[in-house]
A and B are shown apart, each in its own frame.
Chain A
Amino acid sequence: MPRRPRRWRRGMWIAFLLAPGLAVMTLFVAAPLLSSFRYAFFTFKGVLPDAFIGLANFQDVLFEAPFAAQTWRALWHNCVVFASLMLAQNGLAYLIAFALLKTLPGHRIHQTIVFLPVVLSAVIVGFLWKLFLHPLFGLVNAALALAGIHGPPWLGNESTALGSIIFTNAWHWVGFPALIFLAGMQRISKETLEAARIDGATDRVLMTSIIWPLVAPSTTIVATLTFIGSFNWFELPYVMAGAIGSPGGATDVLGLLFYRTAFGTASSGLQDFGHGSALAVLMFLFIATTSGIGLHFLRRREIEA
């Protein structure tokens, strides 16, 4: 007789523990995600789905004016951002990690310093560098002037704007991949490194042919996170170049295009949830499949190493 109520009570206890978490996840992750795919097939009246139109939204954002040109240009810029961050930001991060691995005096402080910008908001970092990059009064051109160089209007020039924002991103984030690489390097056994040294391996050999293959798992993480970050890039370009990717769309990326399309801007029209949803679905599928394929190859590389 007492067995049953006890089991029942145990069940209730487990349900009580799970209920709040499951409720939030269902309402704010599962449900929105499912509707997100549905909404892409509708036209909208304000915030309400109106008429089912099949694939027309997708057709518009991929192949029809005025969307298509913006979509492909933004995608290209995202690719540029990803490639530059992989090379410049993460390359530098690898060097910093290698330097920190030496545990020279003060290495803990260096570790803390290189990670400091990471904890700041992209809004703060973006505005700070926007002020520094100001053509007349900014710190950067003032410093260049000391060396007799007349700096360009970094953010106002179509050829330098995107690069300037990428630089800012690297300054903001370099500590993150650096410490992930460092954690990977610290897991390599001391014997391996000692043996290589005794065999006369120089630092360059150590860095390129001994440590590099052994930190493959860290590289996988860094590459994947950089990829996802680059294709969700929003806050820095929004703060530094505005929602329309000034000047003249030279800094437009998918995140800005998506935001603009979905919610409108003061200058470029109303909110359009139908086309916005189509863009979101395409971005989601693109990020999921590309990072999935990438992960597959990066993982295989880990095993071979």
Chain B
Amino acid sequence: MQHGERGKNALIQALLIANAFLMLYPLLVMILSAFKTNAELFASPFALPESFAGANFARMWSETSFLRYLGNSIAVTAVSVGLIVVFGTMAAYAIARYPFRLSAAVFLFFLSGLMVPLKLAIIPLFIQLNTLGLIDTHFGLILVYVAMGLPSAVFIMTGFLRTLPGELEESARIEGASELRTMLQVMLPLARPAMVIAAIQNAVPIWNDFFFPLVFLSTDALKTLPQGLTVFMGEYNTDWGVLFAGLTLSALPITLVYIALSRQFIAGLTQGAIK
């Protein structure tokens, strides 16, 4: 019995290791291939590169707009997530902490956004942005991302803010603090974990998004990283070493953040689905 159990566990462990290999090996090959020349890639696809000098990376740096795309992605993601968390928390605070007549209706209005795949509304969104003169601007793209992210942020933040005890607010008020001060200095510091979840949940899909920039942005200097990558893959399609270098550099930022914050990432990205 004991023995059989141990053998079975060894088998399961072996399966997990095989799975980990299947997940990691392609990424490892991607990184190693980024250091190879074309000739090396085709002659010895599985070997280590002859040198780690990084000529392909140097070419990416000097010949392509990679840095520009990266900067655009960082700016768009940061501003979008910032606005989602600020606007979402504001609305959730009103819904969760003040009884007012239309409270339930407002909450439902926000939640109904959870049911709508905004991708399918791309045509009216395009027309809307066009009317507002925001096509081919980062601002227009950001507004659409904020609209996409608000429902889940309001949902998470309202749920969390409702659990905070009312006494805290009351005592702050008795001491004469204004509503604004009560919110900023007493209540919101307690809501930080929920804000982190809301931020991660939105940051990852926005950072990775390809569809909306594809439709909204046409100026090369405005393109985001995933979109820029398609431009770049087309231009260098015979230069595989450079292609792998581009993929490696594009995957690097989010991978590093993920390794540092994997627990929060997993919680943030699965939580929306589980709750």
Residues of A within 8 A of B (CB): 10-11, 13-14, 16-18, 20-22, 24-25, 27-33, 35-36, 39, 47, 95-96, 99-100, 102, 104-107, 109-124, 127-129, 131-132, 136-137, 139, 142-143, 171, 175-176, 179-180, 183, 203, 218, 221, 225, 228, 232, 234-235, 238-239, 255, 258, 262-263, 273, 276-277, 280, 283-284, 287-288
Contacts and interface: CB of A to CB of B under 8 A. Distances in A.
Interface string B74-106: 000000000000111011011100101000001
Contact of B24 (A107, A113, A118, A137): A113
Nearest to A145: B45
Contacts of B258: 116, 119
A141 B63 CA distance: 31
A114 B120 contact: no
B90 A17 contact: yes
13 contacts: A11-B100, A14-B94, A17-B94, A18-B94, A18-B106, A28-B147, A29-B151, A32-B128, A122-B208, A124-B251, A131-B243, A139-B45, A139-B46
A180 B109 contact: no
Interface of B: 8-9, 12-13, 15-16, 19-20, 22-24, 26-27, 29-30, 41-42, 45-46, 86-88, 90-91, 93-95, 98, 100, 106, 109-110, 113, 115-128, 130, 143-144, 146-147, 150-151, 154, 179-180, 204, 207-211, 215, 225-227, 229-230, 233, 240, 243-244, 247, 250-251, 254-255, 258-259, 262, 265-266, 269-270, 273-274
B27 A96 contact: no
A232 to B, nearest CB: 6
B144 A28 contact: yes
A30 B115 CA distance: 12
A2 B146 CA distance: 39
B274 A18 contact: no
Interface centre among B109, B255, B270 (most CB of A within 10 A): B270
Contact of B247 (A112, A128, A232, A258): A128
Given A117-B23, A124-B251, A262 B122 contact: yes
Interface centre among B88, B120, B126, B204 (most CB of A within 10 A): B120
Contacts of A24: 87, 143, 146-147, 150
Given A21-B87, A28-B143, A142 B46 contact: yes
The 8 closest A-B pairs by CB, nearest first: A28-B147, A32-B124, A121-B208, A21-B91, A17-B94, A123-B226, A35-B124, A32-B121
Contacts of B154: 21
Contact of B113 (A25, A235, A263): A25
A234 B119 contact: yes
A124 B250 contact: yes
Contacts of A17: 90-91, 93-94
Contact of B117 (A102, A114, A228): A228
Interface centre among B94, B100, B209, B243 (most CB of A within 10 A): B94
A255 B266 CA distance: 28
B125 A183 contact: no
A136 B100 CA distance: 67
A16 B178 CA distance: 15
B187 to A, nearest CB: 12
A122 B179 CA distance: 44
Nearest to A282: B120
A29 B19 contact: no
B116 A29 contact: yes
B119 A171 contact: no
A196 to B, nearest CB: 15
A274 to B, nearest CB: 9
A27 B142 CA distance: 13
Contact of B30 (A14, A96, A128): A128
B9 A232 contact: no
Contacts of B225: 121
A96 B23 CA distance: 12
